[in-house]
């Protein structure tokens, strides 16, 4: 019985690739409930990998590539440009909405490619400057909101 189970799992892996075991991935991400009042595009590009026979294509992208955005991310939209039968899978591996970065992992189905439209927005922080005069001295107060 054990040998049969191992054989079935191995067969599933060979036929469908590793994505059959990843349950937290989906064909798209639409996390834009509250994009904020002053959204700024941090990333808006197409991410594409061509199909290769008997291979699963994978790509991880960090947005922004280095460092952090100037404000918290408020919207992540990853739209699958293919239909679900042949389209890839995507998941958030780190950061996300409410953070200043996001790490996206994309994976194709076996012998297929993927084509995603990735858009990430954050809300820009604004800085206000006020002046207070006392006797002959001027004080500048900066407040970030």
pLDDT surpasses 90 at 102: yes
Across the range 25-40, mean pLDDT stands at 83
The model's confidence at residue 1, banded by pLDDT at 50, 70 and 90, is low
**Other Cβ atoms closer than 10 A to 110:** 20
Half-sphere exposure of 135 (CA within 13 A, CB side): 1
Q: Is the pLDDT of residue 144 over 80?
A: no
Can you tell me the mean pLDDT for 92-98?
A: 96
Three-class HEC string of 6-25 = HHHHHHHHHHHCHHHHCCCC
């Amino acid at each position: 019985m054990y040998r049969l189970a191992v054989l079935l799992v191995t067969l599933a892996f060979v036929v469908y690739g590793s994505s059959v075991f990843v349950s937290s991935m989906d064909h798209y991400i639409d996390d834009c409930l509250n994009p904020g009042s002053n959204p700024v595009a941090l990333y808006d590009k197409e991410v594409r990998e061509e199909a290769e026979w008997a291979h699963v294509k994978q790509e991880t992208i960090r947005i922004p590539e280095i460092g952090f955005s100037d404000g918290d991310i408020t919207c992540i939209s990853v739209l699958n440009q293919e239909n679900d039968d042949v389209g890839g899978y995507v998941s958030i591996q780190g950061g996300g909405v409410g953070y200043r970065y996001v790490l996206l992992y994309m994976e194709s189905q076996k012998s297929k490619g993927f084509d995603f439209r990735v858009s990430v927005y954050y809300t820009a922080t604004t800085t206000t400057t006020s002046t207070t005069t006392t006797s002959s001295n001027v004080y500048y107060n900066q407040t970030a909101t």
